[in-house]
Structure 1
Amino acid sequence: MNFDFSEEQLLLRETVARWCAGRHGLDTAKRREARRHPGGFDRAAWRELAELGVLALPFAAEAGGLGGGPVEIFAVAEPLGAGLATEPFTESLVMAGTLLEAAGEGPGRAALARVIAGEAVPAAALGERAGRYNLHHVETRARADGGGWRLSGAKSAVWQGGAADLLVVSARVSGDARDAGGLGLFLVEADAAERRPWVAADGSLAAEVAFRDTPATFLECDATDALETALDRTWLAASAEMLGVASMLFEQTLAYVKTRVQFGQPIGRFQAIQHRMVDCYAALEQGRSMVCRAAAKGDTAAIAAARAYLAEAAIAIAHEAVQFHGGMGVTDELIIGHGLKRIQMLARLHGDQGVAAARYAEAA
């Protein structure tokens, strides 16, 4: 298939790339400084993305967004990955924002407006320990309380949960833990829940979250459909971001093997190194092809296939980058180690390679 960005999509992609270069610049000192902010990233940078329209891009015009589709998500997520941005576009904006958008008019749209304006950071509190990566395994319970709702239960590995202002929570209104129906989505002010933050591999602030008769607002939508849509969008963004990180690591490593001298010559002249770099290039181009296809088709099968492939290929490229840089490759002094850690997190976001492959098998 032929895939080309439109003029507007190219401009969007280049705008995000320039912003990343100016704000982050693949500077490990800047990255460490950003991670020292409360929540693990600079809120000023989040507001800058809002001013650029990036936070409004994935959502429909009637929801206050700019009506971007899968290709626009690809056009934003890839340069964010290549720039190793600390702002949680994929795991926070795309996942939680899509769930808020599904709620239609009312509290969900009001919360989404705060997110689009850069005033709030949302997090999707979906996974539970016993459910592993199955987002439909939900033991957290919701009960009606007068005109509102109360939640009781716990959520595990809530990405950006330690930084969030708003939580979008899946809870069971009826039925047993693995029933197909009976799910609802609820909006909770993050400070109303009990949060135990922890630092993820990439330096972001995740959390374990507990609800003990916590007040919540019911979001009017089909929770099952909303979760499926949000997962597709998030996996597409994660695949594109991994592609961007892997591309950056490849370029950094290619430059390095041309200058690192061993036995009197650059290591890039050794045939074994050349073969391994060619393998990385081939994997990278295959990954790009699959993300292009996923963005163009926008269906579950294509997205799951890209996610399954990139979860393996991007990590393999990152491991080679670390190997070629030697012991320094895994330290915080080089951007290589930061890239590896970001890929490791994205490769397990709401499901690992095996989960993505199984989802592809079901959808194909």
Structure 2
Amino acid sequence: MCLQTSTEARLVNFDLTEEQVLLKNMVERFVADRYDLDQRRAYQAMPLGFSPENWSMLAELGLLALPFPSDLGGLDGGPVELLVVMEALGRGLVVEPVLGHVVLPGDLLIRAGTDEQKAEILPGIMSGERHVTLAHAETGARYNLAHVETRAAPEGNSVRLTGRKIFTLSGKAADLFIVSARGTDSAQIEFYLVPADAPGLERRSFRLADGSLAAEIELNGVTVPASARLADGLEALTGAVATTRLGACAQMLGIMGSMFDATLEYLRTRKQFGAPIGSFQALQHRMAQLYALTEQSRSLVYGAALADEASREKTIAGAKAYVSEAALRVGHECIQFHGGMGVSDELAIGHGHKQLLVLANLLGDAESTLEEFIQRAA
């Protein structure tokens, strides 16, 4: 996928390159080999909410190293490669926490970590041996990234952290948290690397709507060395959030496509009054609307992946606003087509819709990201 320009017009080419097609095919093979509905249920029932074996396999395939630069041991994957991978994982309803344990913390570490921190942590993320997640969300934040009340108090060569984080993505499996806090300069947000087994850290796990295991953490005077502080703050976080939003949009796009295809097949085979219900004009019109929503979402997500650096965060915010609303509309409609069975665990439709509920509200729902887009466009 690339941009083609000319003196007359700026044309966008949405065709994947040969390497990107191979990447897409590799992820699809992983899904075909490792996933059906029964396997998915079994993976979510595991202690961490996903399969450690699948996680190791994703690492062996190089997918966990894909977003990182080659000088740090990664594979130099960019936004388009992220889109390709996450859309394919979305179609397979994969439960492994690629967004929560690779994309978000990894991008933040690249932007804000010191050379020593990157050298120490990133190889473990890429090999699948380390599980790192961001601990940032607090009570009352309502998607405001600048809302942080956790405090960091210097004590000689150490820092004492006190506060509560109400939501850490896939936090049950994390062995390292990136914790946001305000230091002596209360106007500045800082980030600290905090081991999950640090004295004074309490973790409570809970399941989200899609069955994944998140966690809240209490920091009761947790002490970390001053060297645990990342070099950058809120600006780095906004960049990492934009990257993660793009991944979430791509994953929603894959789920939408999967749900649409399953519903189309159902309408072709389910009969009433002696005819397939897909032959009824009213249902055809509704399916046409869902197809339009999915394809409009695809255009916005692909466009966001190709956006230049100056408009990147704005474009991704706009895509997230549209796709979050469109995805939930597609999910609701597909469930309605299937009737009561649509919300049951017996069909993939229900599983997909629950995953859409989480992704649509991850790092900003449709309303908040639309407001952000408007502010950035002003």
Instruction: Answer yes or no: is the 8 Å Cα contact 2:193–2:230 preserved in 1.
Output: no
SS where residue 76 of structure 2 aligns? coil
Q: Distance in 2 between matches of 1:351 and 1:174?
A: 29
1:23 alignment counterpart: 34
Instruction: After superposition, give the CA deviation of every residue in 1:233-271 in whole Å (9 maximum; x if it has no partner).
Output: 000000000000000000000000000111111110000
Q: Percent identity?
A: 46
AA in 2 matched with 1:38: P
SS where residue 74 of structure 2 aligns? coil
Instruction: Answer yes or no: is the 8 Å Cα contact 2:152–2:181 preserved in 1.
Output: yes
Q: Distance in 2 between matches of 1:147 and 1:175?
A: 17
Question: Is residue 3 from structure 1 mapped to residue 14 from structure 2 by the alignment?
Answer: yes
Question: Is residue 204 from structure 1 mapped to residue 212 from structure 2 by the alignment?
Answer: yes
Relative to the length of structure 1, the TM-score reads 0.95
Instruction: After superposition, give the CA deviation of every residue in 1:303-339 in whole Å (9 maximum; x if it has no partner).
Output: 1111111100011111111111110100111110000
Instruction: After superposition, give the CA deviation of every residue in 1:96-127 in whole Å (9 maximum; x if it has no partner).
Output: 11122220311343122111110011111111
Question: Is residue 235 from structure 1 mapped to residue 245 from structure 2 by the alignment?
Answer: yes
AA in 1 matched with 2:235: D
1:297 alignment counterpart: 307
Aligned mate of 1:183, from 186, 189, 194: 189
Describe how 1:89-168 pairs up with structure 2 within 5 A.
Answer: 89-102=98-111, 103-168=113-178
Q: Distance in 1 between matches of 2:149 and 2:275?
A: 60
Q: Distance in 2 between matches of 1:123 and 1:143?
A: 22
Residue 297 of structure 1 and its aligned partner are, at CA, apart by 0.9
Q: Distance in 2 between matches of 1:190 and 1:258?
A: 51
Q: Distance in 2 between matches of 1:311 and 1:280?
A: 14
Moved segments of 4+, more than 6 Å: none
SS where residue 64 of structure 2 aligns? coil
Instruction: Answer yes or no: is the 8 Å Cα contact 2:153–2:184 preserved in 1.
Output: no
2:8 alignment counterpart: none
TM-align CA RMSD: 1.3
Question: Is residue 12 from structure 1 mapped to residue 42 from structure 2 by the alignment?
Answer: no
Question: Cα gap change, 1:144/1:175 in structure 2, threshold over 3 Å: closer, same or farther?
Answer: closer
Of the structure 1 ranges 256-265 and 240-249, higher mean CA displacement relative to structure 2 is found in: 256-265
Q: Distance in 2 between matches of 1:145 and 1:112?
A: 28
Q: Distance in 2 between matches of 1:361 and 1:51?
A: 41
Instruction: Answer yes or no: is the 8 Å Cα contact 1:100–1:168 preserved in 2.
Output: no
SS where residue 297 of structure 1 aligns? coil
Q: Distance in 2 between matches of 1:308 and 1:197?
A: 29
Relative to the length of structure 2, the TM-score reads 0.92
Question: Is residue 87 from structure 1 mapped to residue 96 from structure 2 by the alignment?
Answer: yes
Residue 146 of structure 1 and its aligned partner are, at CA, apart by 3.1
AA in 2 matched with 1:142: A
Q: Distance in 1 between matches of 2:204 and 2:146?
A: 23
Question: Is residue 332 from structure 1 mapped to residue 334 from structure 2 by the alignment?
Answer: no
Aligned mate of 2:202, from 177, 194, 201: 194
Q: Distance in 1 between matches of 2:163 and 2:371?
A: 28
Q: Distance in 2 between matches of 1:86 and 1:61?
A: 27
